[in-house]
Structure 1
Amino acid sequence: MSLFQQSTDKTKGTRTQVLCAGAVAGLVSRFCIAPLDVLKIRLQLQYHSLADPLSTPLGKTPAGVLHLAREIFRHEGITGFWKGNIPAEGLYLSYGAAQFLAYRSANQVLESLERRENVKIPGTIKSFLAGAVAGTAATTVTYPLDLLRTRFAAQGTEKVYAGLIASIRDITRLEGPAGFFRGLPAGIAQIVPNMGLFFAFYEGFKPIAADIHLPFGSGDALAGISASILSKSAVFPLDTVRKRLQVQGPTRGKYFGGAKMPVYQGVRGTIGMIVKREGWRGLYRGLGVSLIKAAPASAVTMWTYERALGLIQGLGERGDGSG
């Protein structure tokens, strides 16, 4: 069995190795999909009232996305596509590491339970539970960075915060510590089924895709793409709710689309208001871009994680051998 094949076992590797591999995967993934992330967030914050069809500058076709991209480039320059990149890099770095570490630890706990109770937990259920635990832990720990990423990405030509330090200071002063966790219930409600389904689909697709040879390696990337598309589509409305709650507060009217956006309170209240004023389509704004983003993001994340873990383990084995 090759070193890479060994590394694909979710219980293999030390905690440090898993932590480093997950961190590398998060960093690489974030850098690649940053422009799509900005476009998705802007689309989700775009308010469109059913009573006023002219309340949004964008159409309902893919041309609307292209129009938005041209507007960002024209008024904010190429750097506009990387707004919020500093907190986002921190988010993806810490989220990737925390997610894979929690996933590995949860699987170890479940396997220990199986041995102690002499029971067999079906693989799909085990993957779902471990993925849900991993997603909840990673989301909660890194949520302030997620909120900062959203607020910076939602800044148009008008600056809301002078910089990262200033944003932390202003949110703390004007909104208190709770301000960093606006929309967290929606985030957890989204991530539990999303990550649970993602890992369950991924573990199910990986054996099927193992024999598929692609230019960039094995079928790990294909399994990641398929799993992400299915899981994200199922929970996307909660992602839209989370984004709109994240820009609430004293600076709400200064963000993209914020001038016409109503005040939202709570997950249920936000869903109800969006459906009432914008229709069910309002909950799925940006889904197309999200799915396009999900494919390379998940492919890069899982592909990089598997290979980074294999490389780290290989270096460790050589180091032990040389000693």
Structure 2
Amino acid sequence: MSGKADRFKDEGSQLQVTAAGATAGLISRFVIAPLDVVKIRLQLQTHSLSDPLTHRGLNGGPIYKGTLPTLRHILRHEGVTALWKGNVPAELLYVCYFGVQFTTYRQATLLLRSVSGDSQRIPKSAESFIAGAVAGGTGTALTYPLDLLRTRFAAQGHDRVYPSLRAAVGQIWRDEGVKGYFQGLGPALGQIIPFMGVFFTAYEILRPQLSQLDLPFSSGGAVAGTIASVMAKTITFPLDLVRKRIQVQGPTRNRYVHKNIPEYNRGTLSTMRLIVSREGFRGLYRGLTVSLFKAAPASAVTMWTYERALRLYIALGERQSF
């Protein structure tokens, strides 16, 4: 038993791992918040991308075309603070999610290693995939209401649907019940489990190789995180779009910046088929470009911050033990 403890002594305690994960989530969320708002606006858009940017859609909703034009449009019509809409629930989401994710990933990895013992029956790639999928699914399920609130606030235009976070929680409870907080959880879990599995598998494979290279600022972990995130995001993006479309369903559906969001009420696969029939296969990938732009800095900042925060907390812990 002491051998196993020595084996993981440099990986920090559970509290240190949780604190490092929460710190990484807090910082990365603030950095990528504007790109997240742009991504959500594009994902909720059902208008044809061939329409001019200045054209107003059904019921006066704007048409966004491309990442930079969307940024300029939001800045011009809603101001710079609009790029951080939904940032309060999003910060809570990222802190809680990454804290749960990194803690669960570590515990799942330790459990798998204890089961396999010294025989190493579980390959490293399979271990990373299983632990990553468990971590992603657990973090998503436990923090999902915050994710839904983040999406709804980011989808608001000038006419505010919810005046405050507290009002949003109360209104959803009153008008939609407990189910209202978990709309879209199915595609969210369908996306995050393979996403995190692919992400951690690619990250664990790439990090040792890249760490041997002479990269600036010791950024092997950041580069590995960026590549892994881009791969995972591209594979699972349609489910992320479906999740966003379902999250804004309910009595407030026609009050967001896009006034003509269709009604989706028959599950994930039916929603995907409806999107393809109305918008084409390309409709499932609205916002992919900005999502990849967001994924790269988000994962790089997250993994770079996590590793350094964990080392800092471990060093502080050792200093206090003396």
Report the TM-score, using the length of structure 2 for normalisation: 0.92
User: Retained in 2: the 8 A contact 1:147–1:180?
Assistant: yes
- Which 5+ residue runs of structure 1 have no aligned equivalent? 1-8
- Which 5+ residue runs of structure 2 have no aligned equivalent? 1-7
Structure 2 counterpart of 1:40: 39
Distance in structure 1 (CA, Å) of the matches to 2:50 and 2:207:
47
CA offset digits 1:62-120 (Å, max 9, x no partner): xx32222112111211100000000000000000100000000100110111129x552
User: Retained in 1: the 8 A contact 2:211–2:218?
Assistant: no
Structure 2 counterpart of 1:31: 30
Distance in structure 2 (CA, Å) of the matches to 1:157 and 1:214:
45
User: Retained in 2: the 8 A contact 1:10–1:104?
Assistant: no
Structure 2 counterpart of 1:57: 63
* Range with bigger deviation, 264-273 or 166-175: 264-273
Structure 2 counterpart of 1:200: 201
Taking the TM superposition and a 5 Å limit, the aligned residue runs for 1:302-317 are: 302-317=303-318
C-alpha displacement of 1:255: 1.2
Structure 1 counterpart of 2:260: 260
Distance in structure 1 (CA, Å) of the matches to 2:221 and 2:174:
45
Code of the residue aligned with 2:12 in structure 1: it is: G
Task: Quickly say closer, same or farther: Cα 1:180–1:10, change in 2 above 3 A.
Answer: farther
Distance in structure 1 (CA, Å) of the matches to 2:50 and 2:76:
30
Distance in structure 1 (CA, Å) of the matches to 2:146 and 2:10:
28
Describe the SS at the equivalent of 1:91: helix
C-alpha displacement of 1:213: 3.0
Taking the TM superposition and a 5 Å limit, the aligned residue runs for 1:70-219 are: 70-115=72-117, 118=119, 120-219=121-220
Code of the residue aligned with 2:13 in structure 1: it is: T
Task: Quickly say closer, same or farther: Cα 1:151–1:114, change in 2 above 3 A.
Answer: same
C-alpha displacement of 1:57: 2.4
Distance in structure 2 (CA, Å) of the matches to 1:85 and 1:75:
19
User: Retained in 1: the 8 A contact 2:51–2:63?
Assistant: no
Describe the SS at the equivalent of 2:216: coil
Report the TM-score, using the length of structure 1 for normalisation: 0.91
Structure 1 counterpart of 2:4: none
Distance in structure 1 (CA, Å) of the matches to 2:191 and 2:286:
16
Task: Quickly say closer, same or farther: Cα 1:96–1:50, change in 2 above 3 A.
Answer: closer
C-alpha displacement of 1:320: 1.3
Distance in structure 2 (CA, Å) of the matches to 1:98 and 1:50:
38
CA offset digits 1:10-58 (Å, max 9, x no partner): 9821110101000000001001000000000000001125999975723
Structure 1 counterpart of 2:3: none
Code of the residue aligned with 2:64 in structure 1: it is: L
Distance in structure 1 (CA, Å) of the matches to 2:48 and 2:277:
9
User: Retained in 2: the 8 A contact 1:22–1:100?
Assistant: yes
Aligned residues between the structures: 308
Distance in structure 2 (CA, Å) of the matches to 1:191 and 1:233:
12
Distance in structure 1 (CA, Å) of the matches to 2:268 and 2:191:
11
Code of the residue aligned with 1:82 in structure 2: it is: W
User: Retained in 2: the 8 A contact 1:50–1:278?
Assistant: no
